[in-house]
Amino acid sequence: MENTFDAIVVGSGISGGWAAKELCEQGLKTLVLERGRDVKHLKDYPTAMKQPWEFEHRGSMTKAFYDENPLITKAAGFGEDTAHFFVKDADHPYVQQRPFEWIRGYQVGGKSLIWGRACQRWSDYEFKAPSKFGYGIEWPIDYNDIAPWYSHVEKFIGVCGNKDGIEAMPDGEFLPPFEMNCVEQHMKAKLEEHFPGRHLVQGRWAQLSEPNPIHLEQGRGKCQCRNLCMRGCPYGGYFSSVTSTLPWAEKTGNLTVRPFSVVHSVIYDEATGKASGVKIIDTNTHEEIIYNARIIFLNASALNSTLVLMNSKSDRFPNGLGNDHDILGRYVGFHIYRAWANGKIAGFEDKYVYGKNPTECIIANYRNLGERDTDFNGGYTIFTGGYRNRAIEAPEGQPQIGADFKEQITKAGDWHIYMYMQGETMPKATNRVMLSPDKTDQWGIPLLVTDVGYDENDEKMVKDFLKESKSMLEKIGCTEIEGADNHQAPGLDIHEMGGARMGNDPKTSILNAFNQVHTCKNVFVTDGACMTSMGNQSPSILYMALTARAATYAVDQFKKGIL
């Protein structure tokens, strides 16, 4: 009985923390399994308060480290100050059939410790577009189904932003936004003048600009504008599982967290037609242990949850749990981050900025809203902002050292505006992951094989962004405009989605409208694996909303004796 719980949650990141919170808060004894080490708020943020000069390599890594880790060292936010929250390349290998750069963070809290924190709501356009324009199946839910759960999540985690009344990016339950700087205010006015229908807004970010009582009750405090979030915030100024949902779940007395636990598979009971539990491998002892529960939530991240399902084989499911029609592992998508633009803008020399704003501005998607108006499907969000560099040029003929140079770098340089895209990719059966037939990891679990890439639709979208960003920067008043496609492989966006998608038809999807496996109703998948399409907004807050909705439904079914 010591290995028996009401519910098991696999993964402790953004969605796993929410599953634990909701299940525990509603009375279920819940076990959270995490393959990585334990991380406690404050205690396990070793670099949180370090100054730049206190790092041995001033924030960079050694050449030997770069040579051994060509993958993670490309990731946004990776550095000497955050390396402890990223998985080294050799620690969990996988097979790239096409180039795909899979970034992972294995610890209690998962990637919620190193996420970008953007929290835009999906609009109904994104839920409706795939079936309307024929590039995907119909979502089993729409915006109205998920809107109250967005509100539920926003109030608890704390999301700053402004109510802008933009249909393409719905308003939410916001804390006060961070202010736009002088150049961003200028950008906003010029876009409204020259591009009706294109809206620059303050970023909707999971930052406590002004904490509410619920956030103080969590033990969190106001964001200090240090912009060192990915080190682990000692103030709890941004949302993570470690600062928020897991401690909240722990207060109920219903939570058990077991780190160092790699989940091998979900165990299917042929007699009941339900899952009876999960098999784990202790990463320290290599002991195999079985835990039992009436409800199982998979929240190990999109590709890992898909891997667990594929490895959960039985007489009933020889090709993986719930996989009767070769859908599992297919329709994997991501976001396009390949293209960027930048321009210099004159003026504003008497203005500077105070503090380090941890948020960015956003130009809401303006493509294919309701009607297709381009030669590609989908849309893209643009992250943007105005910034001012230091004037770091050494005096004419002088070395970059000494008092004169020191004086020079205290002066502000020119203002610039940057833009980069977050584009929607199309769900395709050929974009897939699978289990290696002959390669296994250190635990004897088959390695994941990634076969995911770009298509013609992606190329057209990148070209459109480069053209439109140049046009916008020109109208805003920029000179020295640059823009490029960096051609990076998929994966560095860290927004992998799909693999066990939701849908109305069990023949074309793995999960139903409440994130249940169609053919094994006590298994729920509420992380990125569940996504039917990719949208153009940052997905993490949607995972949280879907998780809270599914967990509440699961508890209701549990208490009725159905699960």
Q: Rounded to whole angstroms, how far apart are CA atoms 336 and 493? A: 7
- What is the widest separation between alpha-carbon atoms in the chain? 83
Answer positive or negative: Cα dihedral of 16, 21, 24, 27. Answer: negative
Q: Rounded to whole angstroms, how far apart are CA atoms 337 and 445? A: 31
Q: What are 42's two structure tokens?
A: 């404050």
In a 13 Å sphere around the CA of 63, the CA atoms on its Cβ side amount to: 0
Q: Rounded to whole angstroms, how far apart are CA atoms 238 and 97? A: 36
Structural class in CATH, domain 4-118+229-333+429-453+492-559: alpha beta
Q: 174-205: string of b/e by CB count within 10 Å (b at 16+)?
A: bbebbebbbbbebbbebbeeebeeebbbbbbb
Q: Are 439 and 95 in contact (CB under 8 A)?
A: yes
For 164-198, give the DSSP string: ---TTS---SEEPPPPP-HHHHHHHHHHHHHSTT-
Q: What are 272's two structure tokens?
A: 């009941």
Q: Are 511 and 500 in contact (CB under 8 A)?
A: yes
Looking at the chain, the number of H-run helices and the number of E-run strands are 11, 20
Q: Which residues of the chain have pLDDT under 50?
A: none
Q: What is the pLDDT of residue 394?
A: 62
Of the candidates 34, 506, 496, 510, the one whose C-alpha atom is nearest the C-alpha of residue 312 is 510
Q: Rounded to whole angstroms, how far apart are CA atoms 14 and 544? A: 7
Q: What is the pLDDT of residue 389?
A: 84
| Bridge partners (DSSP) listed for residue 9 | 32, 297
Q: Rounded to whole angstroms, how far apart are CA atoms 311 and 8? A: 17
Q: What is the pLDDT of residue 395?
A: 62
Q: Are 139 and 127 in contact (CB under 8 A)?
A: yes
Residue for token digits 């960003």? 469
Contacts within 8 Å (CB) and 24+ apart, 453-456: 453/98, 453/99, 453/100, 453/490, 454/336, 454/425, 454/490, 455/425, 455/426, 455/428
| Bridge partners (DSSP) listed for residue 418 | 342, 385
477: which residues sit within 8 A by CB, 6+ positions away? 186, 190, 345, 346
Q: Is the pTM of this model over 0.95?
A: yes
Give how far Cα 102 sits from Cα of 98, 298, 329, 380, 533, Å: 12, 19, 15, 22, 19
Local structure of 250: helix, strand or coil? helix
Q: What residue ranges of the chain are covered by domains with CATH 3.50.50.60?
A: 4-118+229-333+429-453+492-559
Q: Rounded to whole angstroms, how far apart are CA atoms 538 and 535? A: 8
